[in-house]
Amino acid sequence: MTSVLVERRGRVGTITLNKPEKLNAWDQPMRNRIVAALREFDADSSVGAVLLTGTGERAFSAGQDFAEAHDFDADRAEAWIREWETFYGTLRRLTKPVVAALNGTAAGSAFQVALLCDIRVGHDAVKMGQPEINSGIASITGPWIMKEILGMSRTTELTLTGRMMEARECRDIGILHHLVSRADVMAKSLQIAEELAAKAPLAMRLDRAWLADMTEEAFRTTIDAAIRVHRESYASGEPARKMEEFMAQRGHQLGQAT
C-alpha cells in the first residue's frame, strides 16, 4: 500500500497520509515522499494551493513512528533532526499556501506540521497536542512553533504536561480556523484551498516568503538546539525506555477497552 497519495483536484494539489493502521505515523520514507510532493506542486504553475490530509477517521497523523525512533543513537538523532529541518523548511518556504484538512488527531510532529500549514480545518473529534514528554522524547521544535502562535504561557503548559487539546479548545485559541462536521472537513478545506489558489500568485509568494523571513533566525537557532538536545537525549537511552513504557500502557488500555 502506498503510504502517501498524491493527486490534483483542479488547481489544488492534495497530499494524503495513507497509513491508517499506524494512525498515519510517519517514518523517513514517508516524510521524504511528502517533501517531494510539496516540491513537485510548488514547481507546477497550474497548482495554486496545496491541501494536506490523512486517511481514516482516527488520526491526521500520530506523528513519529516509534518503530523507527526506538533504536536511534546520537548520530541518527542528529540526522533525524536534519530531516525535520528539510520537511519544515520546505513547508515554510513553499511559494503556495497550504491547507490542513484534519480528519483526526494531530499529535507531536504532526501537530507541528499542522501548525506550519496556513489554514487548519477540523471537526469535533479532532485532538491536537505535543505529547512527546509522555514517551520520553524531548520537545524542541514543537515549543518554538507553538510559542510563535500561542505565546509562552500556553506553550510551557502544553510542552510540560503533554496533554492533548479537544477541538473546541483548539478553535478557541485560534489553531483551528474552521470547525465543521466530520463529513464537511474535506469539502470546506477544498473550498478554502481553491479560494487561495485564485489569489494573485506573486503577492501570495511574497507574503509567504515574508512570513517565513520574520522567523528564519529563530528557526535556525531551534534546529541547532534540537540537534544538541536530541543527541544528549538519545545517547542516554531514556527515549527508548519511555517509549516501551508508553506503548505497554497503551496496549493495556486498549485491552481493557475490548
Per-residue pLDDT of the chain (258 residues; tens, 9 = 90+): 799 999 999 999 999 999 999 999 999 999 999 999 999 999 999 999 999 999 999 999 999 998 887 788 999 999 999 999 999 999 999 999 999 999 999 999 999 999 999 999 999 999 999 999 998 888 999 999 999 999 999 999 999 999 999 999 999 999 999 999 999 999 999 999 999 999 999 999 999 999 999 999 999 999 999 999 999 988 888 877 877 776 666 544 434 433
Fold of 4-202: 2-enoyl-CoA Hydratase; Chain A, domain 1 (3.90.226)
CA angle centred on 103, ends 98 and 106, rounded to 5°: 75
Q: What pLDDT does residue 163 have?
A: 97
- 211: Cβ–Cβ under 8 A, 6 or more apart, which residues? none
Q: What pLDDT does residue 246 have?
A: 61
Domain ranges for the chain, please list them: 4-202
CB 115 within 8 A of CB 144: no
Q: What are phi and psi of 177, to 5 degrees?
A: -80, -30
